[in-house]
Amino acid sequence: MARVAMVTGAAHGIGADASVRLAEHGMDVAVLGADETAHADTVRRITETGRRCVFVAADVADAGSVDRALARVHSELGDPAVLLACVGTVDRGPLGELSDQDWAEAVGHPLRGVFVTSRAVVDPMIKNGGGRILALADVAGGDRPAAARNSVVETGLAGFVRTIAKELRPFGITANVVAPEPAGTDLTATATATAGSAYAAGALDAVRFLAGADASAVSGQIVHVAMTA
């Protein structure tokens, strides 16, 4: 039976490409998101690889919604062996103009989504003898206006995966972050805009490796991928 990957944030760009890459390497894929139409092309591309794919409507920051989604994934594909949480960033403007809601959406929601989905998959992964928790994040600092919020998100993800990596290592579960290092690329960019870049190739290769059996000794790491070769 094929391993199952559960992916969030895969409507466009690198998140979509990473989902397809996992399918190309033999995984069935469950795609979680709020808008089925927005994910239709991702689902089509995964299906064209010959692997099974299901879209499951879910708010990844809501525990009840994620639990219901996980139940459907289990029913239709099986328990997820891989969680890939794709975390994009949105520029809400300079600090002095940020509202509390802007901050929550730029920082709180992405981090909570990774926390909620990671917590949900732990029990089935333990039951099945291991798994992979990955965050694919465009949260690098640099000269972008959103650099401060990006750095906060990256720091939060780094602390989270390092903490759970220690806790989950005895159960054969690894946790890592893949973070594009330079400014100038974001997860919500179209696939055609990123397909030829060294960043895209490197990030996708990192995801493929970290999701596989050969990465069983790699956990709690932040893997930065540069834009240029």
Strand partners, 82: 5, 132
State both tokens at 217: 């000794």
Q: Within 13 Å and on the Cβ side, how many CA atoms surround 86?
A: 25
Q: State how far the Cα of 30 lies from the Cα of 78, in Å rounded to an integer.
A: 10
Residue 6's H or E segment, with its range, is strand 4-8
- List Cβ neighbours of 186 (8 Å cut-off, separation of 6 or more): 13, 88, 89, 138
Contact by Cβ (8 Å): 129, 138: no
Strand partners, 143: none
Split at pLDDT 50, 70, 90, the class of 216 is very high
- Buried (b) or exposed (e) across 181-205, using 16+ Cβ within 10 A? bebebbbebebeebeebebbebbbe
- pLDDT tens for residues 103-132? 787 788 889 999 999 999 999 999 999 999
Contact by Cβ (8 Å): 197, 227: yes
- pLDDT tens for residues 7-62? 999 998 889 999 999 999 999 999 999 999 999 999 999 999 999 999 999 999 99
Split at pLDDT 50, 70, 90, the class of 192 is very low
pTM: 0.88
Closest CA to 28 of 56, 58, 50: 50
